[in-house]
A and B are shown apart, each in its own frame.
Chain A
C-alpha cells in the first residue's frame, strides 16, 4: 500500500515538474545572458493556449489524429518565440526596463488567450476538449528521460560550447565580452528567444500533456515558480532541475496529502504551496549558501555612457 503511494508520488512529481523544468531552463538562458525574465508566466500561457488550440484544430478540423499534439507542440514553440521576440526587441533594442516589459507581457498574455478563444471557439477563455489519445505522452518514464536528456543537452551547451561560454560571459560582464569581440546584442537575443521556445514548450505540456484543453489562466503562477526554481537552483541547470523536482514534489504532496492522513487531521494545502516562494526568499537573502545572480542581470548594455 505504502509503495503504491510512493510510486504514484514519484510519477506525479515528475509530471508536475516537467513544465517547470522547461520554463526554468528557458529562464536560465535568458538570465544567464543578463536579461531578467519575469515574463515566463506569459510565455507559458502563450505556449499552453497555442498548443491546445492548434492540437484541437489539427485533430478535429484537419483530422491529423495522433500527429496533432506534435503539431501543437511546434506551434507552441513558435508562439513562445513570437512573444519572446516582442520582449527581446523591447528590452534589447529599445532598452526598455526589463521588469516593466515582462509585466506587460504577463498582463497581455492574460488577455490574449481569452480574446482569441472567444473569437475562434466562441468560448470564454478555454479551448475545446482534445481526445485523450491525442495528447502528449504521459508516461513518467518517458517524461523523465526527456527531461534528463534536455538538462544534459543544456548543460553541454552552456559549459561545453563557444555559444555557452559567450552567453555566460555576456551575463556576467558584457563589457568584457564586447572587448573580446563578442556581440552582446546577438547573444542576448539568442538567450531571450531560446527562453521563449522552452517556456512555450513548458506551457504546451500543461495544456496538451497534463490536461486536455486550455483553461483561463491555467499556468496559475507556474511561470513564477519556474523563476523561483531558477533562483533556488542558483542559475545552474542541474541545480535548477533539482529545484523544479522539489517544487513539483511539493505540488504533488499538496494534491495527495489528504488521502494519506487519518480523517480529522489536515495539513493545510496553502502551507505546502508556499514552500517554493519561502525558500526562494531565504536563498536570495543569502541564508543558504550564497546565491549570486549573473552580475549584469537586468542592466541594458550601453556603450559610451
Chain B
C-alpha cells in the first residue's frame, strides 16, 4: 500500500530521517515505534506531503509518487491524524471535516448534505459526533473522532495516526482500538505511530522500530514481545559507564509535596507528585517524553504561573510556590533547560552576553555606577572562564550563540549554570544533540558537582544516561511517579516497561 524507500531528511544540522525504508501492507495495522525524536513522525509527515524529503522515494500502490503537499497525499487516498490535532477550533465539526473537500458548488457550500454524509460515516465506523457542534466544545476524544472522520470523508484508504492514544484515557483507548479494528475489517490500512509498547502488542499486525532517524527493526507482532521491542527502541551503543563513588548524601534540599500542574488548556500535566532531592545525590527522572517532565521542571524553576499549581515546593525549608525565577536563582537554584534554543540561549546574543544571563543584574556583572552599567571586563572574564573551563569551541566570546554547534551551545549553558555554584541543579536532557566526546565531559561534570554537595534533579529521555548517572531513579508516567527503582540493579527492560505501561 505504502512504501518509503531510502527517505532522508535533514533539519539544519539534525538528521531526522536517515535512509528510512518502511513497507506498509494493505489491510493491516502497522505500528511504528521509537522514542521521541527517533524520526517516526518526520517519516510519516513526509508520506503525507507535509515535509518534502531531501532524497528517497515514496510508493503508493506500487507506483512512485511525487507527494508535494497534503493535497497530493489526499488525492492518493492517504489521510493523517496528527499528534496535535489539525482542527480549526472556532468552526463546527462539519466545517472542519469538509474543509478543503467541500460538497456542493463553488458558490454554495452544502453543509446539510455534508452533515448527512458525516452521520452516515459515524454510523458505519461508530464514531459518534454532532456535526453542528463547534470543535472547541468537544473533548479531546471527540476531537480525535473528528480527525478520523476528516480522513474517512476524504475517502482515505490509508490512515496515518500519530500518537493517537496520548490524549485518551484507558477506557477511551479500548474504544479507539475497536474503531481501528473495524476500519481494518472495512479494508482500510492503518499506520499507528506510538511509543507505548503494550498498545503495539494489542493492536498491530506488523511493527517497524526506529531509533535515531534509522529503522532498526521490522517484526511481525505475533513473533515479538515487549522486552524485545523495548531493547530495540532504547538500545544504543553502550556509552562508557560513568565512574562515580558512593554518594555522600546530606540534608534534603528540595522537597516536593503533592505537586500538580495544569497546562493552559486546563489539562493536568503533573499529577500529585511528591519526592525529595538531598544534597550530594543525583535523582533521576526517567520516562517517555511528554509525560509531565517539562512541566515539573518548569514549575520547580519558577517558570509556571503559580495559579496553575497546587501542592508545595520547598527549598531548604522555604516555600517557593510564589517566588519568581529570579528569586529562586538567588537562593541557589540553577537550571539547564531541555530546549536550549527556546529557553536556554539568546541566539542572537554573543557568547559573552549569554554567559551572564540570570546574573546579569548583580555584581560583579552590573557593578559600575551603582550597579546600572555592565562591567564589560567582568563579563568578558566570566565568559572566558566558562569557555575555557567547559571547552566551548570556537573559544571566541564575541561570536553569536547561533553560530555554535549544538554540543558547544550546551556546554556554554552548563558552564553558565555551574558557575553560580548552585545548591540545587535542575537538569533536563543535558546531552541531547551532543556528540559523544561532549557527553562524557558533561557526565563527568555532573558527577563532580554532586560530589561537591550539590543536589541534582536529572530528567532525561536517554535511559542509559539516566540510569548510569542517578543515585535514585524515579519513573514518571502520565504525570505521576510510576515507581522508584535502584538504578544499580534495575534492568533496562524493567525500567522501559514502567515507562511505557505505567504501573
A and B touch in the complex (CB under 8 A): yes
User: Contact residues of A with B, CB < 8 Å?
Assistant: 160-166, 168-169, 172-173, 175-183, 303-304
Shortest Cβ distance from residue A56 to the other chain B in the assembled complex, whole angstroms: 37
Extra inter-chain contacts (14) besides given A172-B91, A173-B86, CB under 8 Å: A160-B108, A161-B107, A162-B104, A165-B98, A165-B102, A166-B99, A169-B91, A179-B48, A179-B50, A179-B82, A179-B86, A180-B74, A181-B69, A304-B50
Shortest Cβ distance from residue B60 to the other chain A in the assembled complex, whole angstroms: 16
Shortest Cβ distance from residue A166 to the other chain B in the assembled complex, whole angstroms: 7
Residue in B71, B74, B109, B150 whose CB lies within 8 Å of A162: B109
Closest to A305 in B: B11
Residue in B88, B102, B106, B154 whose CB lies within 8 Å of A168: B88
Residue in B70, B91, B95, B104 whose CB lies within 8 Å of A181: B70
**What are 25 inter-chain pairs, A to B, with CB distance below 8 A?**
A160-B109, A162-B106, A162-B109, A165-B91, A165-B95, A166-B99, A166-B100, A172-B88, A172-B89, A172-B90, A173-B89, A176-B85, A176-B87, A178-B70, A179-B48, A180-B100, A180-B101, A180-B150, A181-B70, A181-B100, A183-B71, A303-B50, A303-B51, A304-B51, A304-B52
User: Contact residues of B with A, CB < 8 Å?
Assistant: 11, 48, 50-52, 69-71, 74, 80, 82, 85-91, 95-96, 98-102, 104, 106-109, 150, 154
Residues of A within 8 A of B107 (CB): 161
Residues of B within 8 A of A173 (CB): 86-89
- Contact A165 B99, CB 8 Å, known A172-B91, A177-B88, A303-B50: yes
Shortest Cβ distance from residue B420 to the other chain A in the assembled complex, whole angstroms: 33
Residues of B within 8 A of A166 (CB): 99-100
Closest to B11 in A: A304
In the bound complex, do residue B51 and residue A168 qualify as a contact, i.e. CB atoms below 8 Å apart?
Answer: no
Closest to A292 in B: B90
Closest to B84 in A: A175
A160 to B106, CA, bound (A): 10
Residue in A160, A164, A169 whose CB lies within 8 Å of B88: A169
Residues of B within 8 A of A177 (CB): 88, 99-100
Pick the most buried of B82, B95, B100: most chain A CB atoms within 10 A of its CB.
Answer: B100
Residues of A within 8 A of B104 (CB): 162
Residues of A within 8 A of B70 (CB): 178-181
In the bound complex, do residue A169 and residue B99 qualify as a contact, i.e. CB atoms below 8 Å apart?
Answer: yes
Residues of A within 8 A of B85 (CB): 176
A163 to B104, CA, bound (A): 12
A177 to B100, CA, bound (A): 7
A166 to B109, CA, bound (A): 11
A183 to B96, CA, bound (A): 15
Residue in B48, B88, B101, B106 whose CB lies within 8 Å of A176: B88
Residues of A within 8 A of B11 (CB): 304
Closest to A180 in B: B100
In the bound complex, do residue B109 and residue A164 qualify as a contact, i.e. CB atoms below 8 Å apart?
Answer: yes
In the bound complex, do residue B88 and residue A181 qualify as a contact, i.e. CB atoms below 8 Å apart?
Answer: no
Shortest Cβ distance from residue A236 to the other chain B in the assembled complex, whole angstroms: 12
A172 to B90, CA, bound (A): 8
Residues of A within 8 A of B82 (CB): 179
A175 to B88, CA, bound (A): 9
Residues of A within 8 A of B91 (CB): 165, 168-169, 172
Residues of A within 8 A of B52 (CB): 304
In the bound complex, do residue B102 and residue A181 qualify as a contact, i.e. CB atoms below 8 Å apart?
Answer: no
Residues of B within 8 A of A180 (CB): 70, 74, 86, 99-101, 150
A182 to B80, CA, bound (A): 15
Residues of A within 8 A of B74 (CB): 180-181
Shortest Cβ distance from residue A258 to the other chain B in the assembled complex, whole angstroms: 45
In the bound complex, do residue A162 and residue B86 qualify as a contact, i.e. CB atoms below 8 Å apart?
Answer: no
Residues of A within 8 A of B100 (CB): 166, 177, 180-182
Residues of A within 8 A of B90 (CB): 168, 172
Shortest Cβ distance from residue A83 to the other chain B in the assembled complex, whole angstroms: 27
Residues of A within 8 A of B71 (CB): 181-183
Residue in B69, B96, B106, B108 whose CB lies within 8 Å of A178: B69
Residues of B within 8 A of A175 (CB): 86
Residues of A within 8 A of B80 (CB): 179
Residues of A within 8 A of B154 (CB): 181
A145 to B280, CA, bound (A): 80
A37 to B86, CA, bound (A): 26
Residues of A within 8 A of B89 (CB): 172-173
A282 to B90, CA, bound (A): 23
Pick the most buried of A162, A175, A178: most chain B CB atoms within 10 A of its CB.
Answer: A162
A181 to B99, CA, bound (A): 8
Closest to A176 in B: B86
A178 to B86, CA, bound (A): 9
A161 to B98, CA, bound (A): 12
Closest to A170 in B: B88
